[in-house]
Amino acid sequence: MNITYVPIDGGHMYPVAIIDVYSRFIVSWSLSNTMTAEWCRECFKTAINRYGAPEIINTDQGSRFTSPIFTEFIASYRGFRLSMDGKGRAIDNIFIERFRRNIEYEKLYLEPSENGLELYHKIKDYMKFYNAERPHQSPEYKKPEQIYFLAA
């Protein structure tokens, strides 16, 4: 799970995404004009409601993810646990960091958005492309959707 910021006219918006490490499938994402633990929790709830609880969720040590609002929510579920990167170690969460780089360089930096609604639609379109059309070198040059639903 990772948050980044994207400049728009007059400020920034914050996309968050959750990736399935094996398939590279984005199981949930959200966009907000503020970064809160409640918002991150709701994005994770969406993933659980759609696809079930994972064995593990990995985040960085940002204040949203170390907040009791988020950690107590995670602790309330049995069967999975929270893993956090080492401080300053983006490589610990390399799959979502790579996704973040891809969306920024393949879409968001090439097509800057003027407002939040425009940015939302660009991200939504990219998510469809990324999950359903964009093959990945690993595993086996397949699309995330193919791998995720085959393994499920």
pLDDT at res. 71: 92
Torsional class of 52: left (φ above 0), alpha (ψ -120 to 50), beta (otherwise): left
Instruction: Give the closest residue to 83 by CA, choosing from 65, 99, 103.
Output: 65
Spell out the domains of the chain, with CATH numbers in brackets: 2-151 (3.30.420.10)
Helix (H, G, I), strand (E, B) or coil at 66: helix
Per-residue pLDDT of the chain (152 residues; tens, 9 = 90+): 999 999 999 899 999 999 999 999 999 999 999 999 999 999 999 999 999 999 889 898 889 999 999 999 988 987 788 888 667 665 678 899 999 999 999 999 999 999 999 999 999 999 999 999 999 887 789 999 999 998 76
* Confidence (pLDDT) at 77: 82
Q: How far apart are CA 102 and CA 72, in angstroms?
A: 31
Residue 62, phi then psi, degrees to nearest 5: -65, 160
Query: What sign has the CA pseudo-torsion 50, 31, 16, 121?
Result: positive
User: Across the chain, what does the average pLDDT equal?
Assistant: 92
* pTM score of the predicted model: 0.91
